[in-house]
Amino acid sequence: MTDTIFALSSGAPPAGIAVIRLSGPQAGSALQALARKMPPPRVASLALLCDPRDGAPLDRALTLWLPGPATVSGEDMAELHCHGGRAVIAGVEAALGAMSGLRRAAPGEFTRRAFENGRMDLNAVEGLSDLLAAETQQQRRSALMMAEGHFSRRIDQWRSRLLELSAMAEAALDFSDEDDVPDAQIESRMNAGTLTLAKEVAVILAAPSAERLRDGIRVVLAGPPNAGKSTLLNALVGREAAIVSDIAGTTRDRIEVPAALGGVAFLFTDTAGLRDGTSDAIEAIGIDRAHAALEAADIILWLGPPEDAPRHDALLIAAQCDQLGHAGRPGLAVSARTGQGMEALKTALLDRARSLLPGEGEYALHVRQKDGGAALHYHLLAAAHTDDLLVMAEELRQARRAIDVLTGRAGTEDMLDQLFSGFCIGK
Ligand SMILES: Nc1nc2c(ncn2[C@@H]2O[C@H](COP(=O)(O)OP(=O)(O)OP(=O)(O)O)[C@@H](O)[C@H]2O)c(=O)[nH]1
Ligand SMILES: [Mg+2]
């Protein structure tokens, strides 16, 4: 029989209230043993919890009895909302642990059971993981949509249409051995149906990146030595993260500083000043690193001459405008010292960031989901562009497999282990 698991699901004690959750076939009998009565399902009921071993009172708590399968884990569940003191929690947990068939949950085990019982697919699990880690409102919005299953439901719809197309292909193949072909146009009708589906799936490929949303939009500050990059970085992130001096070549390494502006997560990178022919070996390494950072940048703030900008979409900054003015210098006039132009720069950054992040009612996708979507799209297109029924049926089979990977129906066990172990205990 499956173990019944329990864990403290609320935050670290001491706290006002501690929520201990149970999930598994013995959740009900364990609750009955502690509370000495069974509350009606899904109604919060006050009870004096006593240790079944000696009858000693443990705590007065609010109890919930949630019979499965309509629960988050898909199993019978119970919740004990106790006082949040360490000794209370330890006492209740010790009483639970002494019952046979009950044990402490591993990290993410409640969610793993939800996944295994088909209550959540892999996409919803990832959304939940992102929701627990969300620090900005934008991260929260996208993760919540994912956790609530918006994307999962869309994939389910694609899956049923794909199954219909597959069934048509297999049926047509069966008939093709016989002379009286029931539908002469079957291939072209199937091509059209598959192409429509492929076009819908293509939205996955263009979706904003969840990694970018989580880790921050990568903004790289670059330009010649002494341009004022480090000073500008410090002004943007609001602290002295990088050393500033009037010695050219002060910054040698990449300095990465995460910061949220206007509710959006950014990862700012300060780089070594770019110049040719330095004789300093360490500075030369720094310059190489600066080039590598520029390659991976989402947004470049370029503080040098416009003609030397590393990319045509770099945001041109006329830095130190309090001292150098901006006549004849294209770009946004900014002074990190006086604050002139700083608001305009932040607005420009947010405008650019918005195009890389999910808009209202949209969600971001992880590399895993995009890769899965790309495989699905590839096989659908291949099926849409062949008039050979055998090839079509095989491509549709591959597409079904890609969908199963996307939802986690087909997945490697170690990937799942890694995902669930990233959760906290009690989730
Ligand atoms: N007046 C004025 N001086 C500035 C401003 N920004 C930077 N400076 C000065 O310019 C000098 C160089 O600034 P840094 O921020 O170290 O320049 P950097 O581009 O990081 O230089 P490297 O790290 O050597 O490549 C320092 O003396 C700063 O105080 C500004 O907006 N106004
Ligand atoms: Mg510097």
Q: What is the pLDDT of residues 303-319, one digit of tens each?
A: 999 999 999 999 999 99
The answer to whether the Cα torsion of 370, 373, 379, 383 is positive or negative is: negative
CA gap 49, 41 in Å, rounded = 18
Beta bridge partners of 59: 49
Q: So what's the pLDDT on residue 410?
A: 80
Residues 82, 17 contacting (CB under 8 angstroms): yes
Q: So what's the pLDDT on residue 420?
A: 82
Stretch 398-426: mean pLDDT: 83
Stretch 15-25: mean pLDDT: 97
The rounded Å distance from CA 226 to ligand 2 centre is 7
The pLDDT of residue 180 is above 60: no
Q: So what's the pLDDT on residue 391?
A: 94
- Of all atoms in ligand 1, which is nearest to the CA of residue 223? 19
Stretch 280-286: mean pLDDT: 92
Q: So what's the pLDDT on residue 418?
A: 77
Stretch 136-153: mean pLDDT: 93
| Burial category of 1 from C-beta neighbours within 10 Å (exposed 0-12, middle 13-18, buried 19 and up) | exposed
CA gap 240, 217 in Å, rounded = 21
Ligand nearest to the CA of 223: 1
Mutate to test the pocket of ligand 1, among 226, 254, 282 (most ligand atoms within 8 A of CB): 226
Stretch 232-254: mean pLDDT: 94
Stretch 98-107: mean pLDDT: 96
Q: So what's the pLDDT on residue 173?
A: 83
What are the residue ranges of helices labelled H in 244-388? 281-295, 321-324, 342-356, 367-384
The answer to whether the Cα torsion of 28, 31, 35, 41 is positive or negative is: negative
Identity of the residue numbered 90: A
pTM of the predicted model as reported, rounded to 2 decimal places: 0.80
Nearest to 349 by CA among 425, 412, 268, 426: 268
The rounded Å distance from CA 291 to ligand 1 centre is 20
Mutate to test the pocket of ligand 1, among 244, 274, 342 (most ligand atoms within 8 A of CB): 244
Band of residue 79 on the pLDDT scale cut at 50, 70, 90:
very high
349/278: higher pLDDT:
349
Q: Class for domain 213-354, per CATH?
A: alpha beta
Band of residue 176 on the pLDDT scale cut at 50, 70, 90:
low
Stretch 223-245: mean pLDDT: 96
Domain with CATH 3.30.1360.120 in the chain: 4-113
Q: So what's the pLDDT on residue 138?
A: 87
- Mean pLDDT score across all residues of the chain: 93
The rounded Å distance from CA 59 to ligand 2 centre is 59
The pLDDT of residue 94 is above 90: yes
Going by CA atoms, what residue is nearest to atom 9 of ligand 1?
A: 228
361/104: higher pLDDT:
104
The pLDDT of residue 181 is above 70: no
Task: List, as one string, the DSSP characters of 37-98.
Answer: S-PPTT--EEEEEE-TTT--EEEEEEEEEE-SSSSSSSS-EEEEEEEE-HHHHHHHHHHHHT
Residues 194, 384 contacting (CB under 8 angstroms): yes
Residues 24, 100 contacting (CB under 8 angstroms): no
Q: So what's the pLDDT on residue 423?
A: 82
Residue % of the chain over a pLDDT of 70: 97
Q: Give the residues surrounding ligand 1 with Cβ less than 6 Å away.
A: 225-231, 244-246, 248-251, 272-273, 319-320, 322-323, 335-337
The rounded Å distance from CA 237 to ligand 2 centre is 14
Band of residue 177 on the pLDDT scale cut at 50, 70, 90:
low
- The one-character DSSP state at 185 is T
Q: So what's the pLDDT on residue 417?
A: 81
Q: So what's the pLDDT on residue 178?
A: 61
The rounded Å distance from CA 135 to ligand 2 centre is 29
Mutate to test the pocket of ligand 1, among 231, 276, 321 (most ligand atoms within 8 A of CB): 231
CA gap 42, 36 in Å, rounded = 17
- Of all atoms in ligand 1, which is nearest to the CA of residue 227? 19
Residue burial 287-299, b: 16+ Cβ < 10 Å; e: rest: bebbeebbeebbb
- Architecture of the domain delimited by 4-113: 2-Layer Sandwich (3.30)
Domain with CATH 3.40.50.300 in the chain: 213-354
CA gap 215, 313 in Å, rounded = 22
